Structure 1
Amino acid sequence: MCCRASGGAGWDGTATTVWEGSGGPGGRPHYFAAAAAALWPVFAAVDSATPKLNTFMRYAKVELVPPTPAEIGGVAQGFNNIMKSAQTGAWKNIAVKDAWRNVLVTTEVLCWFFIGECIGKGTFVGYQV
């Protein structure tokens, strides 16, 4: 038999259960058996989340790094390309698929901005929606 429960009286006179046989050398009481049994869903959640967290960390180390000085120069070049396109009217010669993609990205950025504003303010009250 692995474990056996024996009853006793607690410090306040109520009945208690002490698990014997699994607590250590000599079959001393194992007082943490009930706590371990209650926490098994937490341990199971940690075990199932660990591979997903490792995958996230692998991608985060690559994708969430700050830009290098060489990439900052690319931002300035991209901004200059946008300004040149606006001045010469080259934006009129864009495919419909690309135009829709640009509209959706712009809408997403604006929505996240306004959601952040609402979260920062803590309420919808005071916004002209």
Structure 2
Amino acid sequence: METVHGRAEGDGFTLVTDEDDDGELVARVSGTLDASHGPQLHQALLGALRQAPTRLVVDLSGVEYFGSAGVTALVWLSQHPEAAGKHVRVVATSRIVTGPLELTGLLQRLDVTGMPAESRPPTDPTGPAVPPSA
């Protein structure tokens, strides 16, 4: 059973929070996350972080454009003092989101799940090279 906790709307995005049966607070973000949405997105995510008992899931499955505001918001959220003692997980199901996360190195720094196969980083980037097939 899900309980809706809040809804934040910017000019181009919507964030809806609800608590799932596992006690996670899920912040579902949809729409466009570009530079003009940075401050509104920060405030909406901080509100969700404050509501989260111990785990916050930021579900970006509904995001249609993921620009610098989205990247900055995730870094800011993960480093915010109120995140201490809480686990933040990001759900990214498309290259729209995983592409910028990969380019900035955040795929390795954040707990990101739901990625398409082509977005998953190698398990050991320093592992042995695969010889070319004959």
TM-score tier (shorter): under 0.3
Larger radius of gyration: 1
TM-score (normalizing by structure 1) = 0.21
